Chains A and B, each alone.
Chain A
Amino acid sequence: MRQFIIRRILYSIVTLLILSATIFLIVRLTGDPVALMAEASARPEDLDRIRHQWGLDRSWPVQYVTFMQNAFRGELGKSFNYRLPVSELYFQRLPNSLTLGLAATLISLLIGVPAGIISAVKVNTAWDSVAKGVALLGLSIPGFWLGLVLILVFSVWLRWLPTSGAGDWRHVIMPALALGWYFAASMLRLTRSSMLEVLGSEYIKLARLKGLPDVVVIALHAFKNALIPVFTLAGVNMVVMVNAAVIIEVIFAWPGIGRLLYEGIFQRDFPLVQGVVIMAGFMIVGINLVVDILYAFIDPRIRLTR
């Protein structure tokens, strides 16, 4: 067990090193940030001064090592545009993204889990077909377009909800629905297959043989076990949603980290872009590590493979 955990942690560190080196290289291969920062009339010696000031005159390996050292201390460099530490900007925006991610996770669970259970219990009936249709639409409707249509219907035509910004709960509904919609489909599919697997297992058959009513079998026996993978996926999805909501945050002017990334891209603010992207990698590698270790505790067979 300990060996398994150590190996997983080592893998995660290697993953992060490769990822950060890739991002670091791409940023530096695609243009000179100094030329963008300085005014057009700047003299060559001014450019050199700026380059020195931001530490861009050192060799790439030196820059990378310094960058990683700082990153592990929680320092992600300084934003060109805001002239503030990237970590400060990042943690200012992070709570908003967490709120949105949490709301979207709740919506995806509220749609996906009940629909998945109904579809598994009433397998191969009209209910099942409806659920399959919902899952298909979840994958086919682009989330950002759903967001635009929601704005059109609920803000422009019905005037029920505010179009953009952050404030009370009414601001969260539409972005959370647009973001969670796609993930609801994956929740639905997983709940359905997981329920089907459990319902076909021996202990459920035994419970049925004992003469327990269907409701009890489904609600007390099957439900609990079938939902372990579903909630795991919900947790992983939440971390993904916190980081991947760029377009939704742009559409709804939601002040989260996705919008921060978008602003950074258009202001050519490389340290900011680099910082936000690397933080996303850290978070996702982290949650995957946690899930792997938790599963190894729950299911000893996992420890033996790989």
Chain B
Amino acid sequence: MASIAAQTTVAPGRTGSRLRAVVKGAREAPLVAIVILGGLILVAVFADLIAPHDPTLPVKGTNIFDPPFWMEGGNATTPLGTDFLGRDILSRLIYGARVSLIVGLMGTLVAGSIGTALGIVSGYVGGWVDQIIMRVTDAWLALPAIVFAIFLAAMVGPSMWNIVVILGAVYWTRYARVIRGEVLTLREREFVKLAEIAGASRWRVIKRHILPNVMNTATVLASLTVGVVIIAEASLSFLGVGVPPPEPAWGLMLSEARPTLMAGQWWLTVFPGACILLIVLATQLFGDWLRVRLDPQLRNL
């Protein structure tokens, strides 16, 4: 009874301090990053409502290569101009946010799940299992990630979901390394030892004691991986092994703009790239903030 009473008296204090921490965190939060990311997510979710035209069809009544509205020859129907098929650039950028965010987030989720699972198993089970997982990690790291991704994408064939799986399969290595290191120290901690002595199964120890303690690190790594994955997707699409046309992916738009670069039709190249820059910049800022808040040890990553 006494312990229950003690708990009930402690609990409100805890929630209070947690609430205060949240308020404090919100005050220090990177507003710029949250505004950009939140805006882009809204745009991606409500693309059907916002986009003025169909991103895959030419707009009637306009020409190909119309410039943005403020330049001579521009018009208000297609405010950011049209591309080589007469499609509306603005609508394509809006739908492109969807592709980038889906691939960025899902690719990171796949990479994070594979890497965290392997890292935990490697660190907690140890022995030859650890040896095998770590040697495979080394082998994966021996290729520049982008070369490995290009190679896989070329072999498997282009589609958005293939790219998600491929980028997940390429970028899990850093999670496995870092999480394994963390599990190695967790394994020696008293609460894990006590759980083992109390007869908890391996699976239960992993689920109840190890996993919750590596989640912070995994979250920080994830926030820093999203931008990398988004750039990788754009690179693959640019090379023609990523998201296939007529899908409105930013990397694909850059690739389609290449022949017109020489003619000075700069808007076709500048806008999609600026979108990539913006989204990656925002995820980086957000990731930096998260890293300082959740895991000071990772500051040097």
Interface set of A (CB-CB < 8 Å, partner B): 11, 14-16, 18-19, 22-23, 26-27, 29-31, 136-137, 139-142, 144-145, 148-149, 151-152, 156-157, 163, 193, 240, 243-244, 246-247, 250-251, 261-262, 265-266, 273, 277, 280-281, 284-285, 288
Contact = CB atoms under 8 A, between A and B. Distances in A.
Contacts of B146: 244, 246-247
Binding site secondary structure of chain A: helix
A142 B231 contact: yes
Contacts of A284: 142-144
Q: Which 5 A-B pairs have the closest CB atoms?
A: A244-B144, A145-B273, A18-B139, A265-B154, A30-B155
B127 to A, nearest CB: 15
Interface stretch (B73-81, B104-112, B261-269): B261-269
A142 B150 CA distance: 16
B144 A280 contact: yes
Interface in B233-262: 234-235, 238-241, 254, 257-258, 261-262
Given A19-B140, A148-B261, 15 more contacts: A11-B138, A16-B139, A18-B138, A30-B157, A136-B281, A136-B284, A139-B280, A141-B277, A145-B273, A145-B277, A152-B261, A247-B146, A247-B238, A262-B239, A280-B144
Contacts of B261: 148, 151-152, 156
Interface residues of B, number: 43
10 contacts: A15-B139, A15-B142, A26-B155, A31-B155, A140-B280, A144-B234, A148-B254, A157-B264, A277-B143, A284-B143
Contact of A277 (B151, B156, B262, B266): B151
B144 A240 contact: yes
Contacts of A243: 143-144, 147
Contacts of A251: 258
B139 A142 contact: no
B116 to A, nearest CB: 21
A108 B262 CA distance: 28
Contact of B147 (A26, A31, A280): A280
B40 to A, nearest CB: 14
A145 B147 contact: no
Contacts of A31: 155
Contacts of B135: 11, 14-15, 18
A260 to B, nearest CB: 12
Nearest to A29: B155
Contacts of A280: 143-144, 147
A193 B300 contact: yes
Contacts of A151: 261
Contact of A142 (B138, B234, B262, B300): B234
B144 A19 contact: no
B292 to A, nearest CB: 13
A250 B157 CA distance: 20
A250 B227 contact: no
Contact of B238 (A23, A141, A144): A144
A16 B142 contact: yes
Contact of B258 (A141, A148, A193): A148
A288 B136 CA distance: 16
Nearest to A163: B262
A18 B276 contact: no
A290 to B, nearest CB: 14
Given A145-B254, A152-B266, A265-B154, A247 B239 contact: yes
Given A15-B142, A30-B155, A265-B150, A144 B235 contact: yes
